[in-house]
Amino acid sequence: MLWPKLVCFALVCLAFGQLDQVASQDTISVCPTNFTPVGEKCLLVDTKWKNFYESDRHCRSLNAGLLSIENSTVLTVINDWLPIIAPYQPEFWTAGNKLGESRNNYFWESTGVEATYLPWNVGQPTPASGDCLTLEANVTMTPEEAFLSAHRLSVKNCTQWAPHICQAPLQFFRTQLCLNTSAFFEAKIPV
């Protein structure tokens, strides 16, 4: 009589143990070290002045690329973030360029995708001034303060100097709660 109750108890414990194990798994996304989550992107501002090529090389050394702007939502989120992280910086290199392109089509260097959303700054584009794109704000000065407008795209000579913004993909991990008789551990497993 005791045997069936023990078997039933063991099966219930096994079933609940499996449910607990499944419930303890989760998928999380995090930005790489030193990058900040901004909308759906992980961004890093480098305020050291470099030309386009050096900026691109710097981002690649971090397993990232220069910033690309796919739509107005991305631009709005970036313009909300920049005054917090770099309040007085009017210009940044982006991944946008038309290097090797005989037409006036721009591409995002970091993704290889043609740039179809191009929110130009006033008086832009001026292709004669270069082949690379910066995210630039207009500066208004008063005796008390300097104001930056929203950052928009401007054409610039690729060998000139500016700070830059790197973007890295989110890193996805599956977390799993590992139970031991005396402790528990959380493991992060790349997905």
Q: What pLDDT, in 10s, does the model give residues 147-159?
A: 889 999 999 999 9
Give the chain's domains with CATH numbers.
36-171 (3.10.100.10)
Q: Is the pLDDT of residue 119 over 90?
A: yes
Q: What pLDDT, in 10s, does the model give residues 22-43?
A: 335 677 889 999 999 999 899 9
Least confident stretch, 55-59, 65-69, 137-141 = 137-141
What secondary structure does DSSP assign to the chain, as a single string?
-HHHHHHHHHHHHHHHHHHHHHHTEEEEEEPPTT-EEETTEEEEEEEEEE-HHHHHHHHHHTT-EE----SHHHHHHHHHHHHHHSTT--EEEEEEE-TT-SSS--EETTT--B-----BPTT---GGG-SEEEEE--EEE-SS-EEE---EEEEE-TTS-EEEEEEEPPEEEEEEEEE-SS-EEEEEEE-
Q: What pLDDT, in 10s, does the model give residues 79-112?
A: 999 999 998 899 999 999 998 777 779 999 988 8
When pLDDT is averaged across residues 157-163 and rounded to a whole number, the result is: 97
Q: What pTM did the predictor assign? A: 0.77
